[in-house]
Amino acid sequence: QSALSQPRSVSGSPGQSVTISCTGPSSDGGGYNYVSWYQQHPGKAPKLIIFNVSERPSGVPDRFSGSKSANTASLTISGLQTEDEADYYCCSYAGSNGVVFGGGTKLTVL
C-alpha cells in the first residue's frame, strides 16, 4: 500500500483539462515538499514531467503544471492531447523511508 494516494483513473476529451491528485501523509514529516511527477507510456520507461512541486524540466510543455496545498499535490494537464494518454505517478522523498511513489493514475483521452 502506497503512502501517496492517487485516483486509479481519470479521463478527459482533447482540449480539456484534467487534474490528478496525490494525497500524502496527514502529518508532514518535512519531506512531502520534494514532490515530482512522472509520465509513463505503455512499455516505456517513466519520464520526469514535474519536480519540486511545480517546476518543469526543459522540453516539457507548459500544458503540464503542478501545485500543492497542505498534504495534497496536484498535476494539471491543460489542452489535453491524445499523446497525453499514459500512466502518471507522483513521488516524494519520505525521510527515513527513502522515496515513495503513488499508486499511479491512468489517464484516458476520450
Q: By the criterion CB under 8 A, which residues form the site for another protein? A: 2, 34, 36, 38, 40, 45-48, 51-52, 57, 87, 89, 91-93, 97-104
Kindly tell me which of 17 and 52 has the beta carbon lying closer to another protein.
52
Closest separation between CB of residue 89 and another protein, Å? Answer: 5
CB 48 within 8 A of CB 36: yes
Q: Angle at the Cα of 42 (from 36 to 46), degrees rounded to 5?
A: 25
**Measured between alpha carbons, how far is 102 from 110 in angstroms, rounded to an integer?**
24
- Comparing CB distances to another protein, the nearer of 16 and 55 is 55
Residue 66 Cα to chain centre, angstroms = 8
Q: Shortest approach of another protein to residue 10 CB, angstroms?
A: 15
Residue 108 CB, nearest distance to another protein (Å)? 17
CB 18 within 8 A of CB 74: no
